[in-house]
Copies of this chain bind each other. A is one copy, B any other.
Amino acid sequence: MSFHVYDTTLRDGAQQEGMNLSVTDKLAIAPLLDELGVGFIEGGWPGAVPKDTEFFARARSELTLKNAVLAAFGATRKVGVKVEEDPQVRALLDSQAPVVTLVAKSDVRHVERALRTTAEENLAMIADTVRFLAGEGRRVFVDAEHFFDGYRFDRAASLAAVEAAFDAGAEVVALCDTNGGMLPGWVGDIVAEVRDAVGPDRLLGVHAHNDTGCAVANSLAAVEAGASHVQGTVNGYGERTGNADLITVVANLELKHGRALLAGRGLAEASRIAHAISELTNISPYARQPYVGASAFAHKAGLHASAIKVDPDLYQHIDPRAVGNDMRMLISDMAGRASIELKGRELGFDLAGQGDVLSRVTNRIKDAEANGYTYDAADASFELILREEVTGERPAYFTVESWRSIVERTGSRGSETASEATVKLRAGGERIVSTGEGNGPVNALDQALRQALGRVYPEIEKFELIDFKVRILDQTHGTDAITRVLIETTDGEQSWSTVGVGPNLLEASWEALTDSAIFGLLKAGVSPR
């Protein structure tokens, strides 16, 4: 029987306090999950959440997955409604997701008090909806909500819901610890009992939350007792204390139990992928996160330091490279020489024989990362540093004399603001002064820079800013914090990303904007004029 690694970052993970993913965010996260190698990506609840309906529609044309299959989440039909007439069920079909995961009540108290119907009608709702969707050619998975609580209260009633789902054609029933109150011993015992009750051919799954700090252990206990479908989220995102951290669960199963579960690039890319996803969710990564956290293989104890040098295996539970992490990695996994060499090769620079260049680049990247830069999502800025160290110079397309930004609003709440920016620079032997207007200070700066450079480098006119992200790095100091800006620019065919860091948004943006112009001109084969 195959094993399912089922990711619900985009659906249950998105329930996390403070998380608000746009459709574009979801379309950017899904390929990272696919790259990690999960088998299933639960994209959302089409029909119930308008953004999720849009996600599935856009996914059909914009998303190409190599390993994973998309799953649409939804509910069983409403009480007393014919399944084929239930618009929410129809929306699941319309999403065209090959897998539909239905949440079904499996705690009789919830059936009676929240759903306000009978156990019989609940079983009919499960059976009808599973049968209907399976009949339409969908693979149907069922999330048995509040299963463990329900089973401890009324074993027969909860088992009946599981059996109704299987009998109607469900491929998987995932037993959910919806309120997160379980402990591993309870989960292991209950899964073993359910396994015996439904027989060995049924595929059971587990969906755990971390309210007792045991989401990972509860998932492992279920797998040890016979579950072969595990649900979780990257970085353990989710409501309250979060869902089971899928990377931790899979790393334990692969590295400790020797199972091979992920397709694609798998665990060796886990740290990079987890961090890239936290950039997209804009939720600060948790340094103490198992396996992929920035501190996960960082050693401080004086007791250990000398011995670690002699024999690192005595002081770490796994080789950090197995999850794309690094023992000395206080900054990031990018900063190691080996990964910089690899990255250089990816960009067409063979640094294998050039120890000096490699050392200089590594040191510059380490210094920059210590100051808040990140190159995981800013290949173009990284390549500019690499080129500069290889060739000994930075292409001199222009020299900046000064810039100024003014934003002004007259009147009270609701009035319009006016933003303008003036850039003074030298290019092509001239001194150019250009003023741009925009709907905000960064937009105005971008306009002014583009207009100024366009006089000498008309190639720049086809560049367009398509993504702009801001991150405040040290949140304890309020507006005194460091600001990091990541921007993505396209020339209509390809896009590139640059990073800027500064004491405020405009300085950081200016750095990313100028890097982007330089990189774009380089890429277009334009020589400094």
Contact = CB atoms under 8 A, between A and B. Distances in A.
B401 A287 contact: no
A264 interface: no
A464 interface: yes
B212 A213 contact: no
Contact of A317 (B180, B184, B481): B180
A442 B504 contact: yes
Nearest to A466: B478
A181 interface: yes
Contact of A406 (B314, B404, B442, B474): B404
Nearest to A179: B317
Contacts of A467: 475-476, 478
Nearest to A398: B412
Interface stretch (A89-97, A290-298, A344-352): A290-298
A438 B317 CA distance: 47
Contacts of A400: 411-413
Contacts of A240: 288, 295-299
Contact of A402 (B15, B411, B472): B411
A18 interface: yes
A424 to B, nearest CB: 9
B478 A468 contact: yes
B412 A399 contact: yes
Contacts of A290: 210-213, 241
Nearest to A109: B314
Contact of A217 (B180, B217, B411, B417): B217
A330 interface: yes
Contacts of A218: 217
Contacts of A406: 404-406
A160 interface: no
Interface residue range, chain A: 35 or more
Interface in A274-310: 282, 284, 286-291, 293-301, 307, 310
A113 B299 contact: no
Contacts of A20: 332-333, 374, 376, 471
B443 A114 contact: no
Given A17-B376, A298-B240, A408-B403, A317 B480 contact: no
A122 interface: no
Interface stretch (A2-10, A127-135, A505-513): A505-513
Contacts of A315: 179
B487 A478 contact: yes
Contacts of A256: 181, 183, 212
A441 B294 CA distance: 32
B476 A24 contact: yes
A494 to B, nearest CB: 16
A437 interface: no
Contact of A318 (B181, B297, B317, B409): B181
B113 A287 contact: no
A468 B481 contact: yes
A342 interface: no
A419 interface: yes
A506 B417 contact: yes
A425 B479 CA distance: 22
A389 interface: no
A146 B311 CA distance: 14
Contact of A25 (B16, B295, B317, B475): B475
A419 B440 CA distance: 16
B311 A113 contact: yes
21 contacts: A15-B300, A17-B376, A22-B473, A22-B474, A24-B474, A49-B333, A49-B334, A113-B307, A146-B314, A183-B217, A213-B245, A213-B249, A239-B295, A241-B296, A282-B471, A284-B476, A404-B407, A468-B478, A468-B479, A469-B472, A478-B488
Which 6 residue pairs are nearest across A and B when measured between Cβ atoms?
A440-B504, A181-B317, A217-B217, A465-B478, A443-B479, A213-B216
Given A239-B300, A404-B409, 17 more contacts: A15-B300, A18-B377, A22-B475, A24-B476, A181-B256, A184-B221, A212-B256, A213-B217, A240-B298, A282-B476, A400-B412, A401-B411, A404-B408, A407-B506, A440-B503, A440-B507, A470-B505
